Amino acid sequence: MTAGSKGDGENNCASYQSPMEKTLTPVPPLPFDLVTEILCCIPVNFLLKFCCVCKSWNYLISHDSVFQKKHFHLSTTVHNRLHLILTPRPSASREFLLSDILISSIFNNNLSTITATPLNYPLTPNRGRSFGGVSSRHGIFCFAIDQSSALLFNPSIRKFKLLPPLKSPPQNYYLQTNYTLVYHRFTDNYMIVAVSLDKNRQINVNTHAFGTNYWRRIQNIPYRCRLRGVGISVGDTVNWLLYDVTISSSPLWVILSLDLEEYSCRKLLHPLSNERPDHKMVFQELKGCLCILSQCANYSVWIMKEHGNEQSWTKLLSVPYMTDGRSFAYSRAVYVSEDDQVLMRST
């Protein structure tokens, strides 16, 4: 009797439903394709928190390159989700600070009310002799520590990696090395291209692919030159501005362009090729084109509309200097809005 009563009680408990439960309709699971679309809309710093939901989400977020490319493309095409990462100018103290500003806040607010958010840098401020060489691609930064070492840093997920040391050739040494982070379309991987100026003023080119622990020597470039800044990635090329003194009687400012498919180099002329060696120029990418900013009588911006075509250089704008005595030295165009407003930075 007691046992039977106990069994009846268990059955009654198992079959009992509260009035609220009776009114609820089970939610059908979402199709995984729809889940993918939803996750693509989530900012990366929040997206990473969903890796622990299940194995399929973890694989999608951490390892699916198609999803990662789609997420990045969406992030960079939505105006109010774009961020400007400010890197400092070199200083005697070698203090190195990174700051983050939402680009939409610059265009939508009074500039005096905009504040930058400091980003924690993974190394101590005085680690290297110089932090002047900064290259970025798809939200990842590559910082030159010195002539033989560099660091990768992703501020969105606060992760970093020290690159293997770059060894100089026997009986030689590097005077200067510039590191450029690029996306290598032909291997679907990221790559760092290092150009080094040795003691003989010859250029050495080495590459390092993500997922490896070594550098690969590409070639030596038979030009005697002076390097100016990091390389600029446009399409399937990396480009450097340099002062070519191979022919001492007629030195020129030229662009050295490295083709990432054939690993062949060529020199390109530009409208400022005949300027003096101390002429103030800034070399950068703007809206998918090579761009040179000249700081002479006027502040001029030139773009190469068709890469490799020296006849396609076009003057985008030319404005006089401000009359209040402030200098535009080392200014650069950092962003062009959808309505063609140009955001400039002066340091």
Query: Tens digit of pLDDT for each residue in 10-50?
Result: 444 444 455 555 566 666 677 888 888 888 888 777 888 88
Helix (H, G, I), strand (E, B), or coil: what is residue 69?
A: helix
Q: What is the pTM of this model?
A: 0.73
Given this model, what pLDDT does residue 255 score?
Answer: 92
**Which one-letter DSSP state was computed for residue 38?**
H
Given this model, what pLDDT does residue 244 score?
Answer: 82
C-beta neighbour count of 46 within 10 angstroms: 9
Is 126 or 216 the better-scoring residue by pLDDT? Answer: 216
Q: Which of 102-106, 159-163, 179-183, 290-294 has the lowest mean pLDDT?
A: 102-106
pLDDT single digits (tens) 189-198? 899 999 888 7
Is 280 or 234 the better-scoring residue by pLDDT? Answer: 234
- Class of CATH domain 95-106+126-268: mainly beta
What is the average per-residue pLDDT within 257-269?
Answer: 90
Is 171 or 284 the better-scoring residue by pLDDT? Answer: 284
Element spanning 292, H or E: strand 289-295
C-beta neighbour count of 103 within 10 angstroms: 17
The contacts of residue 207 (CB under 8 Å, 6+ apart) are: 191, 192, 193, 194, 215, 216, 218
pLDDT single digits (tens) 56-65? 888 888 888 8
Given this model, what pLDDT does residue 3 score?
Answer: 45
Cβ pair 85, 141 in contact under 8 A = yes
Domain boundaries, the chain: 28-77, 95-106+126-268, 280-347
pLDDT classification of 7: cutoffs 50, 70, 90: very low
DSSP secondary structure string for all residues of 264-276: -EEEE--TTTTS-
Task: Please give, one letter per residue, the 3-state secondary structure of 24-37.
Answer: CCCCCCCCHHHHHH
pLDDT single digits (tens) 296-341? 777 788 999 999 999 999 998 887 766 555 555 546 666 666 666 6
d(CA 334, CA 99): 14
Rg (CA), the chain: 27
Q: Is the pLDDT of residue 239 over 90?
A: yes
d(CA 84, CA 316): 22
Of all residues in the chain, the percent with pLDDT exceeding 70 is 67
Cβ pair 304, 313 in contact under 8 A = yes
Cβ pair 341, 107 in contact under 8 A = yes
Given this model, what pLDDT does residue 11 score?
Answer: 46
What is the average per-residue pLDDT within 218-246?
Answer: 83
C-beta neighbour count of 320 within 10 angstroms: 8
Mean pLDDT of all residues in the chain?
A: 75
pLDDT single digits (tens) 141-175? 888 877 778 888 887 777 788 889 888 776 677 77
d(CA 29, CA 140): 35
Which long-range CB contacts under 8 A does 297-304 form with residues at least 24 apart? 299/328, 299/331, 301/333, 301/342, 302/270, 302/271, 302/272, 304/268, 304/270
Given this model, what pLDDT does residue 122 score?
Answer: 58
d(CA 272, CA 317): 15
Cβ pair 190, 136 in contact under 8 A = no
Q: Is the pLDDT of residue 177 over 70?
A: yes
d(CA 246, CA 260): 24
Given this model, what pLDDT does residue 96 score?
Answer: 52
The contacts of residue 298 (CB under 8 Å, 6+ apart) are: 318, 319, 320, 321
- Angstrom CA distances, 36 to 20, 69, 138, 166, stand at 32, 12, 20, 40
> What is the β-pairing status of strands 117-119 and 252-259?
unpaired
Given this model, what pLDDT does residue 330 score?
Answer: 46
Given this model, what pLDDT does residue 116 score?
Answer: 60
Given this model, what pLDDT does residue 21 score?
Answer: 53
**227 — phi, psi (to 5°)?**
-80, 150
DSSP secondary structure string for all residues of 192-234: EEEEEEETTS-EEEEEEETT-SS-EEEEEE---EEEEEEEEEE
